[in-house]
Amino acid sequence: MNAELKRRSTKSFAVLLLFIIIFIGTWTWLKRQPGVDETPKPFRQVLELNGAIWQALFNPTRLVHSPPPPEKKIPRVNGTLGLSENINPENWRLEVTGDDEDDNSPHLSLTLRDLQALPRTDSNTQLRCVEGWSENMSFAGVKFSDFVQAYKLKTMPYVGLETEDGNYYVSVDIESMMHPQTLLAYEMNGAPLLPRNGAPLRLVIPTKYGIKNLKQISRIFLSATRPPDFWAERGYDWFAGL
């Protein structure tokens, strides 16, 4: 009996040791792989595969339904990257380039009033963070699809958006940007946006995690190639779909 117990214990220990060796060896190999956007290449390839699957499953007609937020709700502020408290809506301009890779592409410089003159859309949505929390919110603004149509912009595979200082930026696939619930929003919960919530203009895109909902947009451009993305460069999934 003792011999049998000893044999089993030895076998179990050997299996455990082998598992530890394989785990350490695999982890060491992964860490030695060249990095792509602050992520070991094999991990980045898995992220890109995950994004490709979500993109293939994306339904451009599926609507995201959310209840309205509670009255007098104070929205959560999760980060201040790219935000300025001194931005003046009267002096603010939205710079728009129809094709970022074409020097002859039309360039627009729009005021907040220009955007408010376009068809208005009100929408209840749920902001979801990659950290695991979510909030029901209400926004008003212009659909990106209406914006494209109003200014006769040529749709390209990708859209890039940047804050005024250019230090915070996202890129989004055109299918998600043209979704009927994607807004360039200037109001939140029945009032004009505050600077900490993205005034004077922010992106609201319910089919994506919050990392794509850029605040204080100052530049929009369309592109045939995928523009840089702040969080994708820091190890997150680029598509960030829900």
Question: Tens digits of per-residue pLDDT, 31-59?
Answer: 666 665 666 777 777 788 888 898 889 99
| Main-chain dihedrals φ then ψ at residue 207, nearest 5 degrees | -85, 5
Mind listing the pLDDT tens digit for each residue in 147-191?
999 999 999 999 999 999 999 999 999 999 999 999 999 999 999
Q: How many CB atoms lie within 10 A of CB 9?
A: 10
Mind listing the pLDDT tens digit for each residue in 109-152?
999 999 999 999 999 999 999 989 999 999 999 999 999 999 99
Mind listing the pLDDT tens digit for each residue in 205-219?
999 999 999 999 999
Among 121, 127, 242, 129, CA closest to 185: 121
- Alpha carbon separation from 224 to 36, 105, 152, 173 (Å, rounded): 21, 13, 17, 10
Both ends of the chain: CA-CA distance in Å? 56
Q: How far apart are CA 169 and CA 167, in angstroms?
A: 7
The gap from C-alpha 195 to its chain's centroid, in whole angstroms, comes to 19
